[in-house]
Amino acid sequence: MQESKVQTGRWAGRLGHGTIALLLALVTVVLLVATAPAIGLTWDEPAYIVASESCVAWMEELVTRPGYALSAKGILTYWTANHEHPPLDKIWSGLVWSVARFVLDDLTAHRLGNMLLVGILVSLVYLLLAPSYGRAAGLVAVGALLTMPRLFFHAHLAALDVPAAFVVFVTVFFFWRTKDRPDLRWSIGLGVIWGLALATKINAVFVPFVLFLWVLVCQRESYLFNRLLLMGLVGVPCSLLVWPWLYRESVERLVEYVRFVTVDHWEIGQWYLGRFYMPPPWHFTFVMVFAVVPLVLTVLYVVGIARAIVEKRERTLGVLLIIGALVPMLVLAVGQSMVYDNDRLFVPSFPYLAALAGIGFDWARRGLQKVAARVMAPAWARVFALVVLIAAFVPHVTSALSVYPHLLSYYSEAVGGLPGAARLGLEHTYWCETYFEAFPYLNANAQPGDKVWVQNWSHDVMFYYQVHGDLRPDLQIIWPENGWTPFAQEGVQGRLGTIWDADYVVLQYRQTGFNQSVVNWLSNHGPTMKLVYGLNHQGVPLLEVYARE
């Protein structure tokens, strides 16, 4: 395919694709770092933060005392934390943190590694599209990705969902760029990259299905089928090689990991359409994608899908993007997963949807310019197309800014925004990111030693804030029996108890967490507790704080 001959401005005409991609990456990282302090801590992050610091400590031991570092005791000491997930992103994040902590606050330093990955991801989205569809398509795809409010939120976090999206996209990108090169070295390279993806998160296991389907549909070359086979033979050993936890008791721990990601993972259900499901119905994923991706971008990626189907000359890349977007959603839709948590588990679909939106925009732009050129000068037709593009992005960016930084409460115009989503019975928020909003009230009003209840799995967030001085250390966080926190070694202690024992109840409107005990409390706490603080958006509650009378 030849690059679309579009004028995207004199500056773009003078810059090569590589330079533009680098600039996009730099702008993205600066934007994410600048906005990071406003993004609340989420409940997955404390475990990954502690694990990443432990990874760095192990590496120091490996340099100074390699015998101990590789011993059974050394492995157990440094690799037990969060050993249920592969290590690569935690190693990367820990290394970046070990440098960045001297210039950034602790949380932003821990998040910086993943923000750098997002910068690279943005550049790859551009580089995937621009050579085939032109700079305009590539730039709009990047704009679409960064203005997906949910994706923009996840892009800040020291969690594994965006890194999973990154490594999956990198693997597909490398395959696309080398698909016409039958040399063995490209097959080995693909295997190594996929192995590193597997060492980041289990989501990468589905990449071979994406590539196999594309080869089957678009390019049935025997060397490509062989490449996919070699990819598996090289990738799996590579993924195990970078995981020190498996260096000891290898078989037992590998079996434990496989069982964890298949049958032994703790169940995480989902509040959906006004009721709790475990698992939710097959349409959950597709409805949520429709609900959280801005309407304009939905229209554009649908147009991009249509273009990929209609225009045979440009079909192969479009088909790859369609398959890449669908597979993560289909896995949840038709699988037997017992783990659901709103949109974060299908974040790997978002880069492909953004790329399809860029393709759709380029198609619509050309059609619009043809129509406009009939009634105005060509230069004005281009200006008109630019104005339409800007106007198309304004509504969802404005809507996101109105709820910022609580972007997990963003819902598309297609469902009526957050109020419409609440009426449909979708969660108002999730993942604890609103908790820090309660701290000014608690720090100012709670009595020494008061007991504070937060929903299950959320106590780690409170402990992290206590360790770093954002929440008073004398407050006792109520946590469940047999609860565990990665901050126990730092002397942080909770207090066993239930919601009924609390002096303060901090309630986030993640309805999945409204178990029977919480429902009973909401119905029966009566005059003993009163609402003292509330965080709302357009009349929809996100967080409430109750105090004992």
- The alpha carbon torsion through 10, 12, 14, 16 (nearest 10 deg) reads -170
Distance CA 290, CA 430 (A): 18
Q: Which residues of the chain have pLDDT under 70?
A: 1-14, 313-314, 336, 372-373, 376-379, 381, 481-484, 488-491, 493
Q: Half-sphere exposure of residue 387, counting CA atoms within 13 Å on the CB side?
A: 8
Quick one: pLDDT at residue 6? 41
Retrieve residue 363's tokens: 């198609």
The predicted structure's pLDDT at residue 368: 74
- Closest among 136, 140, 93 to 118, alpha carbons compared: 93
Give the pLDDT score at 211: 98
19, 241, 343 from 332: Cα distances, Å: 38, 29, 11
Question: According to the model, what pLDDT value does residue 490 have?
Answer: 65
Under 8 Å between Cβ of 256 and 305: no
pTM of the entire structure? 0.94
What does the pLDDT read at residue 9?
Answer: 46
Amino acid (one-letter) located at 54: S
pLDDT digits (tens, 9 = 90+) for 14-37: 689 999 999 999 999 999 999 999
Give the residue among 310, 6, 308, 36 at the shortest CA–CA distance from 140: 6
